[in-house]
Amino acid sequence: MHKPAFSILGLFDSAQALMDAIPIVKCGMPAATIETYTPYPIHGIEKVLGRRRSPIAGMVLVMGVIGALAGLGFELWTSGWDYPLTTFGKPPWSWQAFVPIMFEVTVLFACFTAGLGMLFLLNRLPMFRHPMLRSKSMPHITRDKFALAVEAEGQPVDVDAITAVLKGVGAISVEVIEQPAPSGPISPNFVLRAFGAIVVSCAVAAGLTYWAIKLFPVSAPMSHMLDQPRLDPQREEGFFKDDFGMRLPVAGTVARGYLPYTIKNQDDAASLTNPLPGTASVMQQGRQLFNTYCSPCHGLLGNGQPTLTAAYGAKPANLVSQTIRDYPDGKIYHTIMAGKNAMPGYPAELTQDERWAVVHYVRALQRSQNAKDLDIPKEIK
C-alpha cells in the first residue's frame, strides 16, 4: 500500500518525446490532470495540453492602456488644470510634452502587470514546500530531462496502472511523488514567526531612521531660488553703477497710483476740492480707514478723546470742534498728507482716494455731532 500520491512523474529524454506522449496519456486517461515540467519553455505545449490561453496578454494590454490614460490624466491635471505652468512659452495643455510620460507610464504599468501578475496572480507565488521540490528528478528537470506528471493530489489512484501507461509511452523512468501532510500556510508557528519578523523589521527600521537623522548632515532642501542673483531692497548691490539695489523712478515719469504732491502748507491746500462723491461705499471705506489709522488718537467719534490719550502724552485735535469744521476739505487732506504738530503724515499708509474718503468721513462725524433740525429724518421727527 502506497502513501497517497501527489503525482506520478515520468521523465523523457527530449521535448519531442514529451510532446508525443501527452496526447496518448490524455487519450488513455481523459479524467487525469496532466502537468509538465521542462528545463525551458516549449512553444505550443499549452495547445497539446489543452490549456486555455493565459490571460496575461489581455491583462498587459488593459493595464498598458490604463497606464497611458493615467499618465495623460495626471499630466493634464497637474500641468494643465491644477497648477497651469507656462514652460518655454507653450500652452499648459501641450499634449506633445505629455507623450514621453504617457509612454513611460504605459511601459511601467505593462511591465509590472506582466511580471508581478505572472508571479503573484497566475503562478500564485510565493509557494513554499511544493511537493515537486522533493522529487529526486528535480535536478534533471532543471537541466536536461522533460517530465510529464499525472497529478493525483492525494486522491486515490491506481499508481501501477499510471506507471505502466507512462512506461508505455516511452518514459525512461517513473517516480511516485508523495502527497505531503496537509499543513495550511497559516500555522501557529508561521504566525509567530511572521509577527516576530514584523517586530524586528520595525525595530531595525526605527534604529536606522534615528541613526540617519542624527548622524547625517542636514543639507538644505532645494535653495536655488535663494541662491540666485537678485536685487534686495534696502541693500547695497553691485549690479547698478551707484550700488543701490532699489531704483528711483525714471526722470519725468510717475508711478501708477502715485501722483506727485507739491503743496507745501495748509493755506495752499485750501483750494483742493474732494474729487470723490459722498456715496455709501466711500463713506464705509472712510470709516474703516479712520477707525484704523485715526481713531487711536482722535477717538472713534473724532472728538479727540480716545483711551490712548493719557499714555500718549500729547493732546490730539478735536476734529468735530468749530475750528476744524470751518476748515476747507483741502486743509484736512493736507493734514493727513503732511501731518501737523505732533501728528505725522500718512502718505505711505493711505492712497489719494483713501485720504479723500477719510475726509468725507470726518465731515460726516462733524455733522453727526452738530446735527441741525434739518438733518433729522422726517419719519423719526
Q: Which residues bind another protein (CB under 8 A)?
A: 43-44, 57, 61, 88-89, 96-97, 99-100
Determine the Cα angle at 176 with ends 40 and 131, to 5°.
Answer: 60
Residue 2 C-alpha cell reads as 502506497
Residue 53 vs 129, nearer CB to another protein: 53
Q: Is the peptide bond before 126 cis (omega within 30 degrees of 0)?
A: yes
Residue 96 vs 223, nearer CB to another protein: 96
Residue 15 vs 132, nearer CB to another protein: 15
Residue 359 C-alpha cell reads as 475726509
Under 8 Å between Cβ of 294 and 335: no
Residue 50 C-alpha cell reads as 489543452
Residue 62 vs 364, nearer CB to another protein: 62
Distance CA 83, CA 107 (A): 26
> Residue 45 Cβ, how far from another protein at the closest point, in Å?
11
In this structure, the chain runs to a length of 381
> Residue 20 Cβ, how far from another protein at the closest point, in Å?
15
Phi, psi of 332 (to 5 degrees): -65, -40
> Residue 43 Cβ, how far from another protein at the closest point, in Å?
4
Report the greatest alpha carbon distance in the chain. 129
Can you give the three-state secondary structure of 109-168, one letter per residue? HHHHHHHHHHHHHHCCCCCCCCHHHHCCCHHHHCCCCEEEEEECCCCCCCHHHHHHHHHH
> Residue 120 Cβ, how far from another protein at the closest point, in Å?
23
Residue 41 vs 126, nearer CB to another protein: 41
Residue 10 vs 64, nearer CB to another protein: 64
> Residue 116 Cβ, how far from another protein at the closest point, in Å?
21
> Residue 47 Cβ, how far from another protein at the closest point, in Å?
12
> Residue 171 Cβ, how far from another protein at the closest point, in Å?
22
Residue 44 vs 182, nearer CB to another protein: 44
Phi, psi of 205 (to 5 degrees): -60, -40
Give the number of other CB atoms < 10 A from CB of residue 288.
14
Residue 110 vs 362, nearer CB to another protein: 110
> Residue 89 Cβ, how far from another protein at the closest point, in Å?
7
Beta carbons within 8 Å of 61's beta carbon, 6+ residues apart: 110
Pairing of strands 173-178, 33-37: unpaired
Residue 100 vs 196, nearer CB to another protein: 100
Cα→Cα distances 120→113, 117, 206, Å:
10, 6, 29
> Residue 9 Cβ, how far from another protein at the closest point, in Å?
25
Q: For residue 55, give the nearest of 126, 120, 118, 125 by alpha carbon.
A: 118
